[in-house]
Structure 1
Amino acid sequence: MENGFNLISLITTERSKGTIVWLCNIGAEKYWSNLSAGVVNRQEDIAVNRMEEMNLLICREQDIIILREMPDEDYLSNLRKMGFSIPTILSPENADLLTPISELVLRDEGLLNKLKEAAEKNNDLYFNPYGVTHLEEEIAQKTGMRIMGAPSHINAKINDKIFNREISEKLGLTVCEGRVCNSADEIREEYDKLTNSKPFFSKVIIKEPKGASGKGLYIVDSKEKLESSLRMIARFSRGRTDSKWLVEGWYNKKGDINYQIYVSPDGEVDVFSIKEQLLRDTVYIGSKMPPELEQRVLDSYMEYGQKIGRYLYETGFTGVAGIDSIITEQDVCIPIIEINGRFTLSTYISFVNQILKDKKILSRYFRLTPEKTVNYTDICSKLENEGLLINSDNKEGIFVYTSGTLPYKLHEGTDGSVGRVFTLIVSDSWENVNVLNSKLEKIMEAYSK
């Protein structure tokens, strides 16, 4: 099947074929970049690492998923009730909640042997990580699993915002006003140009090439903020002479649009899951599916995805990529704000309508800082008592789709109780989705100090 391997087909129309070994190695970006991580909150990192559970939303029964901890039993039971398939779940021995999952796998000879045995017994077994770094390549080499996705050095190149801008320019796509800067003086010069020349921008954004999840982005709306941002940039770049930054105008937007593409090993491009994203400043907090966009706009995104996918294939890229774009207040589409040459949080919810069947869906993410710890059952019980928990029969209500991200226990050396809750708000109408969302927000407020 390798030459004809198509991930999208396998998780949609050909679900009985082959076996996929899933590994949600969130944080892969740090292996593609030598930028400083800055201040680290260990409790936040635990919640981020446990987002691996959302990978279960796209698994098939015959698949294998590697998770650092077994999920909450109530959570697995609810997934089954909703109609999701639960694969074989493997966990590394002596797993902690902070070490990157791929490092844990490589330390566990017993787990590596299990994966090697599975690969030897099954010619149609494929290793599909969230992102490919040298660690996943080493896992594949030690186990004999066929890794699906571009080599690590290609992924590092694709996940570079400056390279993303170059792709747009080469393909003749509209780009943001701005340029690549090589020094603090050039950043100051571009800031002055963007804020004092037509079109006038009230804000400017400075981007580190390989920042991810809202990190490495500096929104500047004054000279004072510019100088403080430059001091921070200088501290994190630590005097490196090869540093570059992308400086662009900040647009007022009608919409933040994410679209996903899959580039198969033979170069076939699938464009899937066009979503309206909800952002707070530059941080993702949810998605709207399907998007309320005119058909001509949806068609244009299909064309952009095909064009970008073919270009990426020529560079050596295969696998899933998530592309962020914007539509400005002037109805101008900027097709590439950035490309993530890997899975994104949005990828894992891209196929839920196979289960939920033509519903309106709003995904919402909340950061929780409760005074007392709270677990998956607590959250679901609260929603059920309020009449908001999803009904597995009519598929209406609020579905909590991770359990391990919740601040259900404190860990030695961590800073207080911090967690995240990921939900899908599901209904037949956007009006009811909005009502449910308002009620959910009020409930979530009670879990924040």
Structure 2
Amino acid sequence: MPNSFHLIRWLTDEREKGTIIWLFNIGAEKFWNPVQAGIVDVNEDRIVSRMEEMNLLLCREQDVIILRERPDDAFLEQLRAWGFSIPRIWTPAPGEERASISELVLRDPELLGRLTQLGVEEPDAVLVPYAVTRLEEAIAKRCELRLVAAPSEVNASVNDKIGNREIAEALELPVCRGRICDSIDAIREAYEELTTGEGAFERVIIKEPYGASGKGLYIVDAPDKLNTLLLRLGRYAKQHPDARWLVEGWYHKIGDVNYQLYVSPEGEAEVFSIKEQMLRDTVYIGSRFPVKWANGEDEAYHSFGEKIGKHLHAIGYTGVAGIDSIIAEGGEIIPVIEINGRFTLSTYLSFVSRVIGSPLTYLSRYFKLTTDYPLPYAEVNELLQREGLLYREDTGEGVLVYTSGTLPVRMDESTGKFNGRLFALIAAASETRADELSSRLEAFIEAVQRERRGDEVGSHPGR
């Protein structure tokens, strides 16, 4: 009889239980709500897909992780040295680069057969994807695996920003001033209401129901900018008469907070991680944790999470949900800005302190990199060590680069450049020290990119 599954316990106190099959199917939004793809950047899509490697931070040795490509051996060796468990790594047969990881799995009979056999040999095996769409349901059905998550249609409904506001209103939670609009005229009226009169906002944010990483969000700070946006939204509305938007005031705030919620199959709701988000406008650039609270906000967030989790379970949702919130000037918590009914990048960092140690301050950062030469993982670490930035176990401080496949290691044939992203976790004994290391890391990234420009005279590292 398979063990009762509880993700948080399996990752902490019950690490010996069962087998988790991990699948980082980022980009699930396009399967929940098919829209025009617009301009496709194949190189950027490739980099995003290789963020899958951060899933290794959650794995246990008995687990299986399905990755598009096997990670750099130097990266795997470094993870082991830091104390992370390396699971069995399975990869599908190579295919179209724009295909999702789940599509590649479904096109690979050999891998499907291995997954089926795994389910027979290890009856406690469960499939835990980043998100659930019809594709992951097809994998589970084809391989007779237990998919421990809500149905894809429930996942899609929870990842609706307008539906998120409706959940908050139904639970009588504080919400941002604003309203749901079903026409261009209604958007204009809402903008006028929010930007005039007592308590007027300087800026307004207009949200489409779906989207991730800042997509589908429009910050409007002037009537002419609104008019330009409404022309575009109006064209969309003519083809989609049921379209809706959320229009809210843009708050001055003292904090952006993400809290990770787990809703078990039995209906338990647990907030297992809270992080202060670092945003540039609407785009996430990093997190700080653990959060140092001034007025008991930690207790409030656990209370909000339990209330939201019970509601999500009542509508059929189970699994991880990442909830974005703000603390407005004056200290009011607005607990639901957005609910992501899936894993988020923050989820994968939630248990690193069990490996690296605590009490410490952690600061996650990521940087876009463009060079004229490849910059593989081992060389990045060598350069960081040379600058005195690489994480050291004896001091408990420094920078841990926690993906390898996202680094600039493959040439973009359209530009001849090597593009990538560096995902870094800074461990430090204090927030002041973490900020100091973060500033030094920024300077390091700038210096590396300058040295790697082919138009500058002189040698560059590793050439």
Q: How does 1:283-294 map to 2 (within 5 A)?
A: 283-294=283-294
Q: How far does the alpha carbon of each residue in 1:62-94 deviate from its partner, in whole angstroms, 9 at most, with x for none? A: 000000000011110100000000000000012
Q: How far does the alpha carbon of each residue in 1:345-403 deviate from its partner, in whole angstroms, 9 at most, with x for none? A: 00000000001111110000111222333222222121111010011344310000000
8 Å contact 2:410–2:419 — kept in the other structure?
Answer: no
8 Å contact 2:389–2:399 — kept in the other structure?
Answer: yes
| SS of residue in 2 equivalent to 1:374 | coil
Q: Distance in 2 between matches of 1:26 and 1:238?
A: 30
Residue aligning to 1:304:
304
| SS of residue in 1 equivalent to 2:93 | coil
Shift in Å, 1:197: 2.6
TM-score (norm 2): 0.94
Moved more, 294-303 or 248-257: 294-303
Q: Distance in 1 between matches of 2:13 and 2:206?
A: 42
**Is there any run of 5+ residues in structure 1 with no aligned partner, and where?**
none
Q: How far does the alpha carbon of each residue in 1:305-332 deviate from its partner, in whole angstroms, 9 at most, with x for none? A: 0000000000000000000000011211
Residue aligning to 2:313:
313
Q: Quick check: 1:433 aligned with 2:434?
A: yes
Change (3 A) 1:238 1:107: farther
Residue aligning to 1:205:
205
Residue aligning to 1:333:
333
Q: Distance in 2 between matches of 1:378 and 1:199?
A: 53
Residue aligning to 1:382:
383
State the number of aligned residues.
449
Q: Distance in 1 between matches of 2:171 and 2:416?
A: 46
8 Å contact 1:81–1:392 — kept in the other structure?
Answer: no
Residue aligning to 2:252:
252
Moved more, 379-388 or 332-341: 379-388
Moved more, 186-195 or 129-138: 186-195
Q: Distance in 2 between matches of 1:236 and 1:65?
A: 40
Q: Quick check: 1:180 aligned with 2:184?
A: no
8 Å contact 1:35–1:236 — kept in the other structure?
Answer: no
Q: CA RMSD in A?
A: 1.6
Q: Quick check: 1:58 aligned with 2:73?
A: no
Structure of greater relative contact order (alpha carbons < 8 Å, 6+ residues apart): 1
Q: Distance in 2 between matches of 1:97 and 1:59?
A: 25
Q: Distance in 2 between matches of 1:415 and 1:201?
A: 45
Change (3 A) 1:161 1:282: same
Q: Distance in 2 between matches of 1:303 and 1:50?
A: 35
8 Å contact 1:43–1:415 — kept in the other structure?
Answer: no
Shift in Å, 1:269: 1.1
| SS of residue in 1 equivalent to 2:346 | helix
Letter in 1 for 2:250: W
Q: Distance in 2 between matches of 1:147 and 1:242?
A: 32
Moved more, 32-41 or 253-262: 32-41
**Is there any run of 5+ residues in structure 2 with no aligned partner, and where?**
451-463
8 Å contact 1:376–1:406 — kept in the other structure?
Answer: yes
Residue aligning to 2:130:
130
Shift in Å, 1:5: 1.1
8 Å contact 1:49–1:98 — kept in the other structure?
Answer: no
Q: Distance in 2 between matches of 1:25 and 1:92?
A: 13
Moved more, 379-388 or 333-342: 379-388
Q: How does 1:48-447 map to 2 (within 5 A)?
A: 48-234=48-234, 239-294=239-294, 296-358=296-358, 359-412=360-413, 416-447=417-448
8 Å contact 1:43–1:414 — kept in the other structure?
Answer: no
| SS of residue in 2 equivalent to 1:408 | coil
TM-score (norm 1): 0.97
8 Å contact 1:203–1:220 — kept in the other structure?
Answer: yes
Q: How far does the alpha carbon of each residue in 1:214-270 deviate from its partner, in whole angstroms, 9 at most, with x for none? A: 100000000111122223334556721111000000001100000011011111111
